[in-house]
A = this chain, B = another copy of it.
Amino acid sequence: MKFVAEVNVMPKKELLDPQGKAVKLGLKHLHIEGVKDVRIGKHIVLTFEAETPEQAREIVDTACQKLLANVIMEDYSFEIKELQETLKK
């Protein structure tokens, strides 16, 4: 079974996000007003194969823990979709 996982890795809320701060200032300079907060993280799209949806979740969780996110400074969340139907067409 083929799956696609959409992973978001964001800096933890307690931490400063200098990149976000810079973008907030940049928006102000462009006269885009009303922006209160900007936080910037990573969006990772994984296409992969697994036997079951449970195994798919496990693979993505392991990948996040071990490589994609620095769990001390970042939080991650993900959604997994099966690709089977699209492939059959």
Q: Is the interface of A mostly helix, strand, loop or mixed?
A: strand
Which residues of A, 32-47, contact B by the 8 Å Cβ criterion?
A: 32, 34-47
Residue of B nearest to A45 (CB): B39
Which residues of chain B have C-beta atoms less than 8 A from A39's C-beta?
A: 44-45
Asked if A49 is an interface residue, CB under 8 A from chain B, the answer is yes
Number of copies: 2
Give A39 to B59 CA distance when docked, in angstroms. 16
A20–B2 CA distance with the chains assembled, in angstroms? 18
A34 touches B9 (CB 8 A): no
Q: Which A positions have Cβ atoms within 8 angstroms of B?
A: 2, 8-10, 20, 23, 26-27, 30, 32, 34-50, 59, 62-63, 66-68
